[in-house]
A and B are shown apart, each in its own frame.
Chain A
Amino acid sequence: MVTYIIRRLIGAVLMLVIVSMVTFSIFFVVPRIAGATAEGFASRYMGRSANAEMIAVTAEKLGFNDPLPVQYGRWISGVFVGSEYDTGATIEECPAPCFGYSFIRRQPVWPDLVDRIPVTLSLASGAAVIWLLCGVATGVLSALRKGTVFDRAAMSIALAGVSLPVFFTGIVSLVIFSYGLGITAPGGSFTPFLENPVEWAYSLLLPWITLAFLYAASYARLTRAGMLETMSEDYIRTARAKGMKESRVVVRHGLRAALTPILTIFGLDLGLLLGGAVLTESTFSLKGIGDYAVQAIVTNDLPKIMGVTMVAALFVVLASLIVDLLYAVVDPRVRLG
């Protein structure tokens, strides 16, 4: 078990190194292959008034002329020990963990991310609870009532849920529930949990439901398929032969087995969402990681994009690590060693 955890941890670190290399390559190696020069990189951080000489000096000071491995090493070491950026006029501090420094906004990326993580975390975790409960419950009922009106209706709604994009369902529900009926908070409202938990839940209710609808739909379909399979297993027949109540057979024996693969997908979905629920955050004007990424892309702010990418990758790798370890707890047949 311990060796397995160590092996998985090493694997996770390696994965992050590869992600960082790929990210770095996309932003610094690929443009260079396409013909971008050190001055070209530097000019992005200068005003339009800057002349060629000033740009060349800045390029040198920011290290765009150094070999690529050195530039990569500098970026990575920033994460651990922080770094300084000499723009010529000033020296900008970027304390560890430095996930990049935005020259456009003249501030490090990490504090911005720290501000925004609670929003995304609130959105993703609340929605996750809703979609897991609703999706699994619907899936189980559908499987048990296979072929009935309930099953058909639930699966049609699920198909709609999978197919309808959040920017459609989100806007429609905003128009109806927030601006029409006035029963939910308008877009853009967010109250931190620690400030007022009730207000927090109220402000996020609609984004939660909208985001959960999308996922609940696919979870309902997954659970239904899983339940149909496990309920025809021999051990279900054994459970019934023991004289067990049907409800107990379904939950303790059927659902228990059907949930295992869903756990895997749940972990990865949650990890992915923590890296930014882009569409939901944009639709409801929530200042989360996803919204931050969109802003960064729109303003062409490379360090921000790279920072978000790395943090998102970190969440996904962590989530898959946790899922792998949990799997051994959930399914005793999985031997770790």
Chain B
Amino acid sequence: MSAPSSFLELRDLRIHFPTDDGLVKSVDGLSFQLERGKTLGIVGESGSGKSVTSLGILGLHKGGRAKISGEIWLDGEELVTASADHVRTLRGKKMAMIFQDPLSAMHPFYTVGAQIVEAYRIHHPVSKKVARKHAIDMLGRVGIPQPEKRVDSYPHEFSGGMRQRAMIAMALSCDPELLIADEPTTALDVTVQAQILDLMRDLQRDFNAALIVITHDLGVVAELSDDILVMYGGKGIEYGTAEDIFERPEHPYTWGLLGSMPRLDRERSERLLPIKGAPPSLINLPSGCAFHPRCVYADRTGGKSSAEVPELLESDGGHLVRCHLPHEVRRDIWENEIKVNLESS
């Protein structure tokens, strides 16, 4: 166990929840790295382990029933074995989180200002007055008009977009070095989504934070990410630069995700290409490759896909894929079967 050089590194992270029905393997062997100033997009269906991973990094599963193993290195510190109280002092200050639905994620009984003041004063021993000034600054910075007035508003008095801005202000109030955004735009109007994405990109540049964006919306990921991790059944199944994932995707599941994306530039008569079947049960994952029951190309592996769990292997230049199909076959299917279909109009 040696400290890595990257700012954030996960090594074989496993987060399992014992339940009455069996062990839920929400995250099962996840590894990735992230540098300051870079953005990682984590994509996957509901139940693929995206949110559990983010809460796991923040240490919010500690003390609960979750069984956590593996390593989480943040700026040279290992967090899985660190004490819950130590991780708590890092939370909010060194790493912060933006949640999906800002209405339910903010306390309805306290003003927006009070909640930012609270977040700031946990980590900075300053007077309420100083903290309030900081809160007003932060609200102004995330583009809330008349921040000195809005600071005393309650969350329900804000519009959805304003609430998410306030949420971002709260997360950034202690100048975190790692920011995790869990579905930051899912609960918002489409017009507001773009504004929030712009804001996040600008702020990330200003704060030089490492950013993890968790979403099922490939559009959001395309907008923000340097690197993309595709998750399925608690495992990373494809990892690469945004260009790798959008231009040269190699995993059948990623193809499915791209095919399920509605696009304006396509004929309306043309059908989307949804992925058949439902996400797997995390208690009884399918044998071999967890995706094989839904995979159209599983029969081309000669029975390997249902017998053996594939490794996450390098395909070319840092592009990692967890699939039994040989690299050449995958490239061939993408070029000649999928891409043509996606682009034909």
A contact residues vs B (CB 8 Å cutoff) = 233-235, 237-245, 253, 256-257, 260, 330-333
A256 touches B88 (CB 8 A): no
Q: For the complex, give the distance between the alpha carbons of A260 and B109 in Å.
A: 10
Contact of A257 among B93, B109, B119, B122 (CB under 8 A): B109
Contact of B91 among A240, A253, A260 (CB under 8 A): A240
B106 touches A238 (CB 8 A): yes
A235 touches B104 (CB 8 A): yes
Interfacial chain A residues near B130, Cβ < 8 Å: none
A242 touches B92 (CB 8 A): yes
Q: Is the interface of A mostly helix, strand, loop or mixed?
A: helix
B156 touches A235 (CB 8 A): no
**Cβ-closest chain A residue relative to B119:** A242
Interfacial chain B residues near A331, Cβ < 8 Å: 108-109
B108 touches A235 (CB 8 A): yes
Q: For the complex, give the distance between the alpha carbons of A233 and B101 in Å.
A: 11
Give 11 CB contacts A-B under 8 Å.
A234-B101, A235-B104, A238-B105, A241-B60, A241-B91, A242-B92, A243-B122, A243-B123, A244-B122, A330-B109, A333-B154
B60 touches A237 (CB 8 A): yes
Q: Tell me if B99 is interfacial: C-beta within 8 Å of chain A.
A: yes
Q: For the complex, give the distance between the alpha carbons of A234 and B96 in Å.
A: 15
Do A243 and B104 contact each other (CB < 8 Å), given the known contacts A332-B109, A333-B154, A333-B156? Answer: no
B contact residues vs A (CB 8 Å cutoff) = 55, 58, 60, 88-93, 96-97, 99, 101, 104-109, 118-119, 122-123, 154, 156, 170
B104 touches A234 (CB 8 A): yes
Do A237 and B99 contact each other (CB < 8 Å), given the known contacts A331-B109, A333-B154? Answer: yes
Do A235 and B106 contact each other (CB < 8 Å), given the known contacts A240-B60, A242-B122, A243-B123? Answer: yes
Interface contacts beyond A240-B91, A333-B154, A333-B156: sample of 7 additional A-B pairs, CB < 8 Å, sorted by A: A235-B104, A235-B106, A237-B99, A241-B99, A242-B96, A332-B156, A333-B108
Interfacial chain A residues near B119, Cβ < 8 Å: 242
**Cβ-closest chain A residue relative to B54:** A241
**Cβ-closest chain B residue relative to A260:** B109
A241 touches B92 (CB 8 A): yes
A239 CB to nearest B CB, Å: 7
Q: For the complex, give the distance between the alpha carbons of A82 and B309 in Å.
A: 92
Do A242 and B91 contact each other (CB < 8 Å), given the known contacts A235-B104, A333-B154? Answer: yes
Do A235 and B93 contact each other (CB < 8 Å), given the known contacts A241-B58, A241-B60, A242-B119? Answer: no
Q: For the complex, give the distance between the alpha carbons of A245 and B88 in Å.
A: 8
A243 touches B108 (CB 8 A): no
Interfacial chain B residues near A238, Cβ < 8 Å: 97, 99, 105-107, 170
A-B CB proximity, top 6 nearest: A243-B92, A243-B91, A234-B104, A242-B92, A235-B107, A242-B119
* Most chain B CB atoms below 10 A, which of A234, A238, A241, A260: A241
Q: For the complex, give the distance between the alpha carbons of A233 and B108 in Å.
A: 11
Interfacial chain B residues near A245, Cβ < 8 Å: 88
A219 CB to nearest B CB, Å: 20
Interfacial chain A residues near B99, Cβ < 8 Å: 234, 237-238, 241
Q: For the complex, give the distance between the alpha carbons of A243 and B90 in Å.
A: 7
Interfacial chain B residues near A243, Cβ < 8 Å: 88-93, 122-123
Q: For the complex, give the distance between the alpha carbons of A330 and B123 in Å.
A: 28
**Cβ-closest chain B residue relative to A332:** B154
A309 CB to nearest B CB, Å: 38
Q: For the complex, give the distance between the alpha carbons of A244 and B88 in Å.
A: 7
Interfacial chain A residues near B89, Cβ < 8 Å: 243
Interfacial chain A residues near B90, Cβ < 8 Å: 243
Q: For the complex, give the distance between the alpha carbons of A243 and B122 in Å.
A: 7
Q: For the complex, give the distance between the alpha carbons of A245 and B89 in Å.
A: 9
B73 CB to nearest A CB, Å: 19
**Cβ-closest chain B residue relative to A245:** B88
**Cβ-closest chain B residue relative to A244:** B122
A237 touches B91 (CB 8 A): no
A326 CB to nearest B CB, Å: 13
* Most chain B CB atoms below 10 A, which of A237, A242, A244, A333: A242
A70 CB to nearest B CB, Å: 53
Contact of A256 among B92, B93, B109, B156 (CB under 8 A): B109
Q: For the complex, give the distance between the alpha carbons of A257 and B106 in Å.
A: 12
Q: For the complex, give the distance between the alpha carbons of A256 and B114 in Å.
A: 14
A242 touches B118 (CB 8 A): yes
Interfacial chain A residues near B91, Cβ < 8 Å: 240-243
